[in-house]
Amino acid sequence: MPGKLHIVNGDAFGDKLRKSSIDGEILVWRESLYEGPIGMRMSDSLLLPIRASYMYRKHGIPEDLFTSTTLHQEKQLDMLSGEASEIVLWFDQDLFDQLMLCYLLTRLSNLQSSQTRLSLIQYDQRIEHQIPQLFSEVSTVTEGQLNIAAKVWSAYSASEPLSLAILMEEDLSELPFLKRALEANLGRYPSMQNGLSSLEQLILEEIDRREVSLYSLFQHVSEKASDFGLGDLQFWGMLEQLRLCDHPLISLTGGDRLPQYGEPLPVQFENWRVRLTDAGKLVLTGKEDHIAMNGIGDWIGGVHLQGKKLIWRRDRANSRFSKL
C-alpha cells in the first residue's frame, strides 16, 4: 500500500509542504464550507446544483466549473484515501479550517482500520511555516475526535441552529480550536438588535463617520475577526450584499462593482473607498433593522435564511436563538 496522503487547507500551505523534506502525496482541499448550502456530502446530486448556483450569484464562479471542481475533489479524496497507509490532516484554528476538518473527519471515519492510519496536525496559523516542527507533533486521530466531528457536522448541516447551539455546551476540547471557531459561526446569524451579523456589525463600525479604503477595511476586519479565516473574495461578496440591497448600508467610490472570481483587481483599486450611507448609520445605531428593511437570502450551513420575517436570529446579550 502506498505511503502518506497529506490533506491541507489551501495551495499556499500545499506549496510549503512540497518544499519540505516530508514525503507523501498532497491533496489540497479548496472547498469553502462556511458559504452557501451544505450537506452530509458535498457532491450530493441534489445539493450540488443549489450550491453551484449560490457560488455563481455571490462570486461569479461559473456553475459548470464549480460543479466539476467539487466532483473531482471528492473523487480524489475517495481514490487517494483508499490507497494510503496514512492520511495526515493539516488544519489551523479558524472557522474556515475547522469546518473543513469536521467534514473530512466525518468523510474519512470509515477508514479507521489496521490498514489506514488517520493522523492530525492542528496548529496556530502564526507558526504554519514551521512545518518540520509541526510534523513532529503529529498525533493519531482518536475515536473521541471522530465522534465530535460527526456531531458537529450533523448539527451544522441541520435546518435550524439550535442543535449546534446545544452542542456548544458539550466538551469539545479533544479538538481544541473547535469551540472558538463555532462561536464565530454562531455570530454569523443576524442579531435581534439590528439584523446584522457580527462581521457586518464590525464592518459598519470600522467605517463609522469616515471613508475607508477597501484594502484597509479588509485588513482591519480580518485582524479583528481572525477566527473566521476570511478571504478577500468572501469579503468582497459580503460588502456587495450590504451595498446592493434595497436600502444600501454602504456606498462605494472608485468603481461600480467589486471583483469577482478570476477577475484581476481594477486599475487603482488601492484608491477605492467605502463609507456608511444614512441607512447604514440608522442600522448601526439600532434605530432601523437591516432585515426588516432589506430582507435576507443566505445560508449558514444547512439553515436557509430567506425573507424579512420568521428569520433565525441571535441575541447578542445571551446568545439565544429565536425566529423573528
Q: pLDDT digits over 29-41, tens only?
A: 988 999 999 999 9
Query: Given this model, what pLDDT does residue 124 score?
Result: 78
Q: pLDDT digits over 16-74, tens only?
A: 899 888 999 999 998 899 999 999 999 999 999 999 999 999 999 999 999 999 999 99
Whole-number Å distance between alpha carbons of 66 and 80: 21
The predicted model gives 97-105 an average pLDDT of: 96
**pLDDT above 80 (res 125):** no
Query: Given this model, what pLDDT does residue 115 score?
Result: 77
Q: How many degrees, rounded to 5, is the angle at CA 66 between CA 302 and CA 260?
A: 95
Q: pLDDT digits over 6-15, tens only?
A: 999 888 888 9
For the domain with range 4-186, which CATH number is right: 3.90.25, 3.40.50, 2.60.40, 3.30.70?
3.40.50
Query: Given this model, what pLDDT does residue 133 score?
Result: 85
**pLDDT above 60 (res 112):** no
Q: How many degrees, rounded to 5, is the angle at CA 36 between CA 32 and CA 38?
A: 80
Q: pLDDT digits over 144-198, tens only?
A: 999 999 999 999 999 999 999 999 999 999 999 999 999 999 999 999 999 999 9
Query: Given this model, what pLDDT does residue 3 score?
Result: 86
CATH architecture of the domain with residue range 198-323: Orthogonal Bundle (1.10)
Kindly report the pTM of this predicted structure: 0.94
Question: DSSP 3-state assignment of 123?
Answer: strand
The grid coordinates of residue 68 equal: 466539476
Q: Break the chain into its structural domains and give their ranges.
A: 4-186, 198-323
Structural contact between residues 182 and 153, judged by C-beta atoms closer than 8 angstroms: no
Query: Given this model, what pLDDT does residue 113 score?
Result: 58
Q: Which of 299, 39, 310 lies closest to 189 in space, CA to CA?
A: 299
DSSP string, 102-127: HHHHHHHGGG-SSS-EEEEEEE-GGG
Bridge partners of 191, per DSSP, are: 314
Do the domains at 4-186 and 198-323 have one common CATH topology?
A: no
Burial of 243 (0-12, 13-18, 19+ CB in 10 A): middle
**pLDDT above 60 (res 1):** no
Whole-number Å distance between alpha carbons of 285 and 205: 10
Q: pLDDT digits over 202-239, tens only?
A: 999 999 989 999 999 999 999 999 999 999 999 999 99
Residues 6+ apart with CB under 8 A from 27: 5, 6, 7, 8, 76, 77, 80
Whole-number Å distance between alpha carbons of 230 and 297: 20
